[in-house]
Amino acid sequence: MLFDIRPVQGTAEPFFLHLFKGCVLFESILKGNPTNPPPLNSTLGNTLRHLHVELGIPANIDIGNTNFPDIVADLAGADDSIQTAVQFTGRIRNTLGHNLGWVVTLDKMHYHRLFRMVSSSCFHAISCLYS
């Protein structure tokens, strides 16, 4: 509903914050798991490498810093795999964790797709790491 009532030139910060909170939740689920906890103070990248077997993802998944317009643009070529969802979740976390002032056209469709990737990553981590 917020997409329908915000001004066209309004800020996307509330949507960025919502996505970022989901990414932080994902990271917390990974780090707090009872199955194979990562070392203390691990970065998200190190945590994903530590848990790649349990999560069924490559050890070298690229979640490096990028900019938010690139993340949105990359949605066009993204598939619906869990590996892609985890990769985008990591990229969103590393991007929005450092800057919320991105100038990007974030429409309802893109936001919903990113939200589904983040929530899928959370559910996947729970199903893989918690009995």
Whats the size of the chain, residue-wise? 131
pLDDT at 4: 60
User: Amino acid identity, residue 19?
Assistant: L
Q: Give the torsion through C-alpha atoms of 112, 118, 123, 126, to 10 deg.
A: -170
Nearest to 129 by CA among 51, 58, 73: 51
Q: Structural domain boundaries of the chain? A: 12-129
User: Amino acid identity, residue 75?
Assistant: L
Nearest to 68 by CA among 92, 40, 36, 41: 92
pTM confidence score: 0.92
Convert the pLDDT of each residue in 29-86 to its tens digit.
999 999 999 999 999 999 999 999 999 999 999 998 789 999 999 999 999 999 999 9
